[in-house]
Amino acid sequence: MYRRNIVAISALAAGLAMLPGGASAQQKSMKDLVVGAWTLLLADDIKDDGTHVPGFGPNPDGSLIFTPDGHYSLQIIRYGVPAFASKDRLKGTADENKAAVQGMISHFGTYTVDEANKTITFRIAASSFPNWDATTQKRAVTAITDEVLTYNTPAPSTSGYIRAELAWKKAK
């Protein structure tokens, strides 16, 4: 999907989430809205001047799954990471391993939703970024509807940025 369309969808979702009364998001709890499978629309790192930089290059791919019983799994992968020449993941060159590791983030564990503060708290059991293993992290939800979920990561896994913004579309 073109980046311009992604930003427009996120803006539309934010607007719909703020509408009083008739918006479908207000008929369901935030917990009910997050449960399910989501596909990545946007994963941007944000500089202190507000500049958006694609955190995983143009057109990253990703999946986020929230189960009704409080478990989750998240993966984001840079599009076009080169295949290993050896065809063996244990025999990648230093450059191949670097591209693979820097081109993805993955974590899983349990989550809770705070309706009043509009946050999702991830209790990360394990992550491809080991510094996040066994940590608890809150994400401020900026928009949520039946179709789109947008939240901020206050401490992204990359230095030089003040936060990351992620937008997800409900999988059909």
Contact 148, 170 (CB under 8 A): yes
Residue 58 has pLDDT above 50, yes or no: yes
- Residues facing 8 on adjacent strands: none
d(CA 39, CA 28): 21
Tens digits of residue pLDDT in 85-114: 999 999 999 999 999 999 999 999 999 999
| Domain map (residue ranges) of the chain | 3-170
Q: What is the mean pLDDT of residues 68-72?
A: 98
Total-model pTM:
0.83
Can you give the pLDDT at residue 26? 53
DSSP H helices, 44-172, are 94-102
CATH of region 3-170: 2.40.128.540
Q: Which one-letter DSSP state was computed for residue 159?
A: T
Can you give the pLDDT at residue 3? 53
